Amino acid sequence: MADTRSEANSATTSYLEKPLNYIDGVRVTPSEPTHRFAVSEPSTGKELIQCPSSGKKDVDEAIRSSREAFSSWSQVPATERAQLLLKVAAKLRERVHEIAKVESVEQGKPLWEAEHEVTSSAKCLEFFAGMATYASTGQHLSLDGGSFGIVRREPLGVCVGIGPWNFPIAMAVAKVGPALICGNTMVYKPSPFTPITTVMVAELFTECGLPNGVLNVVQGEGQTGALLTGHEGANKVSFTGSVATGKKVMASCASGIRPVTLELGGKSPLIIFADADLDNALKATMVANFTNQGEVCCNGTRVFLESSIKEEFVKKLVAKTKTVKVGDPLKADTKMGALITKEHREKVLNYVESAKKQGATVLCGGEKFTPDAAAVSGGYYMSPCVLDQVGDDMTVAKEEIFGPVMSIFSFTSEEEVIKRANNTNFGLAAGVFTSDVKKAHRVANQLQAGLVGVNNYNQLRDGMPFGGYKQSGIGRERAAVTIDMFTQLKSVYVEMGDVKSPY
């Protein structure tokens, strides 16, 4: 019987026999690609495919297709659109193992994490299916003289979605779900590092009855993204990625006055008070830093420990970190897989070296790691890292690392730690651990972050708006308010009497 790695590699290789652009319900080869880019398997370092990067003609075709589909899709009742989302959610659950294996191959995360991502994506679609009534409900206003007003909620048109490589399925669904339930169509571009599973999801939509053109996928690097965000046929852009690219996307949308949603980076604080349940705080600290190889925008990488507990907590933390099994993401006992690319691993390791030069102490990890298994010895692995003696002005304390690197800080007062926690250009997430409910609320209310966890961390639940303060983004995803970002309001005044005029 074939092992999991053989099955995953076979499934991925088979899937790559066809092109990865998906337009009008068919996988097509870009007609005028600008160039080709290599897609590698993070866990082995082996090249999976040379993927063509879509050019202007391909982007034009995708936008045209979605524009034509919009005229009919926007007229489908929201309840029927909801039924389709529910069918896709059911398919994701049915094929979770198959899809997760390919995701693990292309992204490098442990298989169990990939399975969780597929399942959570199904939940996200189910949530937005449940928003069908809100997505299609307007208002009626009774006015003087029997006249009345109607407020209609209408779709925007063709939406562009651009996703990251850390959660390729979940981020795609978080954009596609609300766009489609509102009656929009979407052209989606996944990250060039993870181009495969998004197409698998798009094919599931078609299999479940989505009309051709409602969801198209184009592959490409930055140039393709710029063609999409600046396209005159696009009515809305939703982007998840770095702050630097987010600024370019926003500037591109400004020329056409296109609304934009941005979910960008973070440098989130995790504050642990002495009165906290320290066993739970320890578990949360691990989750907040080493989930998905640390490649999570909302990770709590700045860990603030009240000074009276720091020594004992750090001792347990380092011991726990040393037990994290790094290796083949397709092995059941692996807890941390491979970083996305060789270049990214070097970038993360350089942050560790920079910290050491600036005076920080490496308590454990922060080195290249080579698994014993020959099949994955060429992958992009590193050992999870804990840094101590980190100053607030050090590079690792200010810049998003996007890897398994945790920085430890100590504090003595509530006022001090709030001030230091907020001393960042980011504001995506934060965490507070304390047994004092009044303190929990007091601190949470003062933290400048879009998502605050109390006595837990990284709890992104559908229905709770996700997005950032400051340079961590604009807009919110995965909640009812997201519907407002994929629709526009039209006020219709109906006169029931005669027009009054001074002329």
The answer to whether 223 and 195 are in contact (CB under 8 A) is: no
Q: Under the phi-then-psi rule, with left for phi > 0, alpha for psi from -120 to 50, and beta for the rest, what region is 281?
A: alpha
CA–CA gap between residue 325 and residue 230 (Å, rounded): 44
Helix H or strand E encompassing 483: helix 480-485
E strands, 126-195, are 139-142, 148-155, 158-162, 185-189
Burial class (CB within 10 angstroms; exposed 0-12, middle 13-18, buried 19+) of 270: buried
Positive or negative, the CA dihedral 298, 472, 42, 91 is positive
How distant, in Å, are the alpha carbons of 298, 363, 403 from that of 381?
21, 18, 11
207 catalytic? Reply is no
- Strands 368-369, 148-155: parallel, antiparallel or unpaired by DSSP? unpaired
For helices 96-107 and 4-15, the axis angle rounded to 10 degrees is 80
CA–CA separation, 465 and 453 (whole Å): 13
According to DSSP, residue 477 is labeled B
d(Cα 403, Cα 237) in Å, to the nearest integer?
Answer: 27
- Which one, of 436, 321, 333, lies nearest residue 383 by Cα? 321
Place of tokens 């006020």: 491
213, 131, 137, 138: which is closest to 174 by C-alpha?
Answer: 131
Give the integer Cα–Cα distance in Å for 348 and 382. 9
Phi and psi angles of residue 225, each rounded to the nearest 5 degrees, phi first: -60, -40
* Secondary structure string (H, E, C) spanning 176-201: HHHHHHCCCEEEEECCCCCCCHHHHH
Catalytic residue check, 306 = no
Between CA 385 and CA 335 the distance in angstroms is 14
Among residues 61, 203, 221, 263, the one annotated as catalytic is: 263
Which of 51, 182, 253, 297 is catalytic? The answer is: 297
Residues in the chain: 503
| End-to-end Cα separation, the chain, in angstroms | 88
Give the catalytic positions in this structure: 263, 297
